[in-house]
Structure 1
Amino acid sequence: MQDLASEKLTTEEGVRASPVKKPTATKFDFMVVSNRLPVDRISDDGDEKDGWRRSPGGLVTALAPMMTKSDGAWVGWHGAPDETVRPFSHEGMDLVPVQLSSHEVELYYEGFSNATIWPLYHDVIAPPEFHRTWWDSYRSVNKKFADAVIRHAADGATVWVQDYQLQLVPRLLREARPDLKIGFFNHIPFPPPEIFAQLPWRREIIDGLLGADLLGFQRPSDAGNFMRSARRFLGASVKQQQVHVKGPDGEVTHIARAQAFPISIDVDQIRELAANPDIMERAKQIRRDLGDPKTILLGVDRLDYTKGIGHRLKAFEELLREGSIKVEDATLIQVASPSRERVEQYRLLREEIEGTVGHINGTYDTIQNTAVRYLHHSYPVEEMVALYLAADVMLVTALRDGMNLVAKEYVTARSDDDGALVLSEFAGAADQLKQAFLINPHDIDGLKSAILRAVNLPPKEARRRMKLMRKQILDHDVDYWSAAFLAALEEKVVRDDS
């Protein structure tokens, strides 16, 4: 296959990739489709020649090797609105950018994806908004993504569509290219029908998803919720984990399967970093900088209302007030990376969390000790692993979470099998990490009790719990996840009409 050009031309209007040779003739046997490409633009002072760097994150880690080894391409938005970037290659990956206008980013992404679908799928922790203009933009942008695949997919290609921003793409691909093998993976929860029913376009979303041959979800309950919604809102014929999808003529066109494929992390990367002497020393320095407290508790989240940061702070404050934990002995580090700061709900959440932290520290800090060290930053993975090594107790108190990979990263980093994990039962990771202290974050008394148990956990019991959790993650890393999904997608489905 010909190489795609990657040389750039810089103009006052933006950065554009140079033309590729006959881009419409470029065909790929394997395509990944996601809202964003697996690369980020480097600032002008970067020294990389082509102006891009590979994005961090488990999905890119899992699929990038396949892109470089196979005749594959990744379709996605390159991150800058109102800018044209042509197909290019980066580190052996062929990339097909989808162009989005500022108006489309506002309506399709900030609007329908993150102010309608996100809160709806997370148990309406925040009220979703339903606007027809957002829906119209979501439909048109999904068609843009589908059209990019249609142009570049080889005959019989495998296409793997990722996440809630692109739920209409499978049906669009099925209608235009029935020769394709289509997979879809939903990285966030899928709500029960009683909640999903609120969506005015519920039938269209279910129909869009049923264009796939295989639908992957984080938990069996998510797959079950989808199947129940397919039966309730489309009258679909559901048998076990299969939906017999019918065309306009009433004939079955294909069988869509729904299964759980819990995503995981790049285990090797975390283990190598945790064994790095510089990072181990950095972890010791973090403890020294905090005054060598007896216990360091850690929370690492995007600043999002689904993460239960307020519940965590409330429990910690009550423990300080009661004297069950003393500021001289324990410090909570809360990393809250910036998220969707243009959305009003997120701006208000930041004010609330920062106000709570200020109240706790104003009440309980001493000259030598800080109760909560609040960090509203994003950090590189090296610093995150140092924090994992420094922390005695990891707090994951999500109110609803598809998986929560931070919990898995913490456990993987604990190569000495020490430490403790307090984990919400509403995070997908709870299905695999059963030796954590599983909690209902809405139960503040139960959360406080679990924190105290974790803080006072005997070393022998800590090792037993951590060893079992680490084995589970080491045996089921991100490569296992992607291989399991793609193997299931390739399986021949036996049609059962009985």
Structure 2
Amino acid sequence: MAKTIIISNRLPVQLQIGKGTINAIPSVGGLATGMKSVHKGGESLWIGWSGLTDEDIHISLAPKIDEALAKHGCTAVNLSEQEVEGFYYGFSNRTIWPLFHYFMEYAEFELDFWETYKSVNQKFADAIIAQSDDDDIIWVHDYQLMLVPQMVKEKRPNASIGFFLHIPFPSYEIFRTLPWREEVLKGLLGADLIGFHTYDYERHFLSSVRRLLGLEVSFNEIYLQNRVIKVDSFPMGIDYNKFSNAAKKKMANAQRSDLQEKLDSHKASAPGTKLVLSIDRLDYSKGIAKRINAFEYFLNKYPEYQEKIRLIILAVPSRSNVPQYQLLKREIDELVGRINGELATVNWTPIWYFYRSLPFDSLIDLYTSCDIAWLTPLRDGMNLVAKEYIATRTKGTGVLILSEMAGSAYEMNEALLINPNNFEEQADTLKQAITMPEEEQANRIEILQKRLSRYNVEVWANSFMETLIQQKEESPARVAKKITPSVLETISKKYKKAQKRLLFIDYDGTLTGFHKDPQKAIPDEEMYQLLDALHNQEGTTMFLISGRDHETFGRWFLHKKYNMIVEHGVWISKNGEAFQLLEQVKNDWMQKIRPVLESFVDRTPGSFIEEKNFSLAWHYRNTDPDFGQKRAAELNEVLTSLIGNDDISVLSGNKVMEVKSSNVNKGRAAVRILSEDTYDFVFAIGDDWTDEFMFQELPKEAITVKVGLNKTQAKYFVEGTKRVRELLKKFIA
């Protein structure tokens, strides 16, 4: 029976070591909570680091630790202090974390960090491989383990692998600065489904894949060899009922905690005073220092609110051994001290500052007591605190001020969204929050609560798993179309058994790879030998069928006397005869279209026009991939509006857009040839959209083959030009 394997840097339990005893206590973090439904449903296993290094664990305790973890469906990857230092505190948090949060000045590109990161990722992969079977579902989490998917895929090619990144994925301009950028991308592409919190992160990732690896991306699918990798956004939710019910229970309970009594006492002593809550891990990405400065700016701009507002800052300790975090704590300590020293009165301290973790019940006290939550990260993958605050506002009041740089901002438009770098905007927004009527607060809160209660953390986890399973179920249909050795053998037998065979073979992207200069994609000796053998084979009629101009094909192949159809079906040559028009077409429209294409060449560096007798092609293979694709979409829109009732059409090929007569295409030409005789074996192979006409028009019994793993009308596919030649060689063996 297939099982689900979850992998994260840390296990969802905390180990407590007593005198000869080990207890594993379930964690209450967001991921542990979110994966609860997946981990408990059916057979599952969670693999991760226990939090204890090899040096922490006495040899006598190791079996007891394994036993304690096994009770929670967990197994540990053991790490040494040196590995934790290089892998976690080093590459993960001093390279990837700052880079992915746009703090390039903090990113350290140390080779030792990278080597340790690779070796630890391999440790995790080995643990997965040891515990998994080919039909298992594997879900890898977060930036610490970005190489794991590919490492596992190499050993478990049929396993269904998902990966979710819980932090932002940066723009291409940022990501490209990473020295090991290709390795990281290839590691992630071992997954069958890659998930992000927002569409922006998804878009940045796809851009890097396209521009750094040169892979074909269609919408949210990446085509890699014989695989299709899906990329999608899944905004993580919270355990909404847990927070909402805790708030309701607290309201109904007459007994108050010490913290709640102090908060109530403060409110009673200063009626009308607003409490503003700020909760973050102590991290430079959270914008805590900027928020404190913005609060000082607010108090100076609106002095009438002095003694009528208090900012409560809860900074949870984090990575205290990393230098940047030590400097940040010192900066915050000094800021709070200075502002309180300058502005405090006998009865009022502007900022209450806590540097500690608080238990769940105390968090609920803060959430329910504070009138405003002020969360202004400079970059944040999601920010679940914003959602937790909303879930606890059971009375329907409260205002959320949220940075537009937080992933959760995309789901929470009813919050007051601000630019965390704009002090003026922050000050004015804080005033807006203070003065917001309760009716407006209630309207905003109600909409947010409905949305967050529907898309909670369990829905998030299940949605990802359902998509991953769906991807797994769709794979066999794609794999069935692949020309495997057994399929190739079957096709080869049909070919050799046939008395009269007809072959249509595309050129660019099929017989040969693409070249930056199309005129340099010339036939090589191996190709000539292969085509000679097919052309001279008794009972075989072979046509090269291409969008190329007839002058170029004439130079390359006319002396070989191959049959050729070029310019998508305009010209034909049989047995070395001069090219003749296969269709009567006009080219007077070219004068109108050429200036349009020229204007796009001027505005798109690297693009160029290829002019044929009856068509015009705009090539953008040498442009920046994203920019070229954008320009192609623009050009398509312009051309579509221009051609109107003219009898011309626009074809989108592989990095090329071609304008030609509407009544000419490869399918029409192929059917015309087919009608001239009777054949008991018909074969067509090609790589791009222009070949789809041929696949569609040929009889159902024809063998049609797409080069590359794209959506197609063809029955089969092969991975690339090398496989094409191997296939054709089977016909002459």
Return the TM-score normalized by structure 2. Answer: 0.61
Alignment of 1:261 with 2:243, yes or no, is no
Aligned residue among 302, 311, 326 for 1:347? 326
User: Hey, what does 1:310 align to over in structure 2?
Assistant: 289
Q: Which amino acid aligns with 2:423?
A: I
Give the match's secondary structure for 1:374.
strand
Aligned residue among 40, 50, 55 for 1:68? 40
The change in CA–CA distance for 1:101 and 1:121 in structure 2 (over 3 A counts) is same
Q: Is the 8 A contact 1:296 1:330 kept in 2?
A: yes
Richer in helix (by share): 2
Map residues 130-209 of structure 1 onto 2, 5 A cutoff.
130-209=109-188
Tell me the CA shift for residue 290 of structure 1: 3.4
Structure 1, residues 345-398: CA drift from partner, whole Å, max 9, x if none?
Answer: 000000000100001100111122111000000011111111000100000100
Alignment of 1:222 with 2:201, yes or no, is yes
Tell me the CA shift for residue 478 of structure 1: 0.2
Map residues 286-365 of structure 1 onto 2, 5 A cutoff.
286-290=262-266, 292=268, 293=270, 294-324=273-303, 326-365=305-344
Give the match's secondary structure for 1:403.
coil
Q: Which amino acid aligns with 2:462?
A: A
The change in CA–CA distance for 1:394 and 1:125 in structure 2 (over 3 A counts) is farther
Aligned residue among 18, 22, 27 for 1:55? 27
Map residues 375-390 of structure 1 onto 2, 5 A cutoff.
375-390=354-369
CA distance in 1, matches of 2:428, 2:178: 38
The change in CA–CA distance for 1:438 and 1:100 in structure 2 (over 3 A counts) is same
Structure 1, residues 227-261: CA drift from partner, whole Å, max 9, x if none?
Answer: 11011111111111011112xxxxx2x11111000
Q: Which amino acid aligns with 1:195?
A: I
Tell me the CA shift for residue 280 of structure 1: 8.3
User: Hey, what does 1:29 align to over in structure 2?
Assistant: 3
Q: Is the 8 A contact 2:372 2:433 kept in 1?
A: yes
| Greater relative contact order structure (CA < 8 Å, 6+ sep) | 1
Per mean C-alpha deviation after superposition, the further-off stretch among 258-267 and 484-493 is 484-493
CA distance in 1, matches of 2:8, 2:67: 16
User: Hey, what does 2:673 align to over in structure 1?
Assistant: none
Tell me the CA shift for residue 275 of structure 1: 1.2
Q: Is the 8 A contact 1:36 1:76 kept in 2?
A: yes
CA distance in 1, matches of 2:303, 2:349: 16
The change in CA–CA distance for 1:325 and 1:208 in structure 2 (over 3 A counts) is farther
Structure 1, residues 173-213: CA drift from partner, whole Å, max 9, x if none?
Answer: 11011121000000000001100010000000000000000
Give the match's secondary structure for 1:116.
helix
Per mean C-alpha deviation after superposition, the further-off stretch among 286-295 and 199-208 is 286-295
CA distance in 2, matches of 1:326, 1:239: 54
Q: Which amino acid aligns with 2:234?
A: F
Q: Is the 8 A contact 2:162 2:468 kept in 1?
A: yes
Alignment of 1:270 with 2:243, yes or no, is yes
The change in CA–CA distance for 1:45 and 1:454 in structure 2 (over 3 A counts) is farther
Aligned residue among 34, 40, 43 for 2:14? 40
Q: Is the 8 A contact 1:333 1:372 kept in 2?
A: yes
Tell me the CA shift for residue 153 of structure 1: 1.0
User: Hey, what does 2:586 align to over in structure 1?
Assistant: none
CA distance in 2, matches of 1:174, 1:405: 32
CA distance in 2, matches of 1:393, 1:43: 41
CA distance in 1, matches of 2:445, 2:296: 27
Percent identity reads: 38
Per mean C-alpha deviation after superposition, the further-off stretch among 264-273 and 109-118 is 264-273
User: Hey, what does 1:478 align to over in structure 2?
Assistant: 457
Structure 1, residues 141-186: CA drift from partner, whole Å, max 9, x if none?
Answer: 0000000000001330000000000000000011011121000000
Aligned residue among 76, 85, 91 for 1:106? 85
Tell me the CA shift for residue 68 of structure 1: 2.9
Structure 1, residues 50-90: CA drift from partner, whole Å, max 9, x if none?
Answer: 42211111211122243233211100000011255453355
CA distance in 1, matches of 2:17, 2:265: 32
Tell me the CA shift for residue 113 of structure 1: 0.1
Per mean C-alpha deviation after superposition, the further-off stretch among 433-442 and 60-69 is 60-69
Gaps of 5+ in 1: 1-26, 247-251
Q: Is the 8 A contact 1:243 1:257 kept in 2?
A: yes
CA distance in 1, matches of 2:26, 2:321: 25
Q: Is the 8 A contact 2:297 2:423 kept in 1?
A: no
CA distance in 2, matches of 1:122, 1:146: 26
Taking only aligned residues, the RMSD between alpha carbons, in angstroms, comes to 1.9
Give the match's secondary structure for 2:305.
coil
Q: Is the 8 A contact 1:184 1:209 kept in 2?
A: yes
Return the TM-score normalized by structure 1. Answer: 0.90
Q: Is the 8 A contact 1:32 1:161 kept in 2?
A: yes
CA distance in 2, matches of 1:261, 1:79: 28
Aligned residue among 710, 716, 721 for 1:496? 710
Q: Is the 8 A contact 1:327 1:370 kept in 2?
A: no
Tell me the CA shift for residue 310 of structure 1: 1.1
Structure 1, residues 325-351: CA drift from partner, whole Å, max 9, x if none?
Answer: 533211100000001000000000000
Q: Is the 8 A contact 1:28 1:73 kept in 2?
A: no
CA distance in 1, matches of 2:245, 2:395: 14
Q: Which amino acid aligns with 1:188?
A: I
Gaps of 5+ in 2: 479-708, 713-733
User: Hey, what does 2:565 align to over in structure 1?
Assistant: none
Q: Is the 8 A contact 2:2 2:135 kept in 1?
A: no
Give the match's secondary structure for 2:46.
strand
Give the match's secondary structure for 2:460.
helix
Q: Is the 8 A contact 1:280 1:386 kept in 2?
A: no
Q: Is the 8 A contact 2:69 2:75 kept in 1?
A: no
CA distance in 2, matches of 1:198, 1:114: 16
CA distance in 2, matches of 1:390, 1:469: 19
Q: Which amino acid aligns with 2:372?
A: V
Aligned residue among 27, 50, 75 for 1:78? 50
Q: Is the 8 A contact 1:279 1:382 kept in 2?
A: no
User: Hey, what does 1:430 align to over in structure 2?
Assistant: 409
CA distance in 2, matches of 1:219, 1:323: 36
Structure 1, residues 306-328: CA drift from partner, whole Å, max 9, x if none?
Answer: 00111111111112223445332
Give the match's secondary structure for 1:31.
strand
Tell me the CA shift for residue 281 of structure 1: 3.7
Which stretches of structure 1, 4 residues or more, deviate above 6 A after TM superposition? none
How many pairs are equivalent?
A: 464
CA distance in 2, matches of 1:260, 1:64: 20
Which of these two proteins has the greater Rg computed from alpha carbons? 2
Q: Which amino acid aligns with 2:26?
A: R
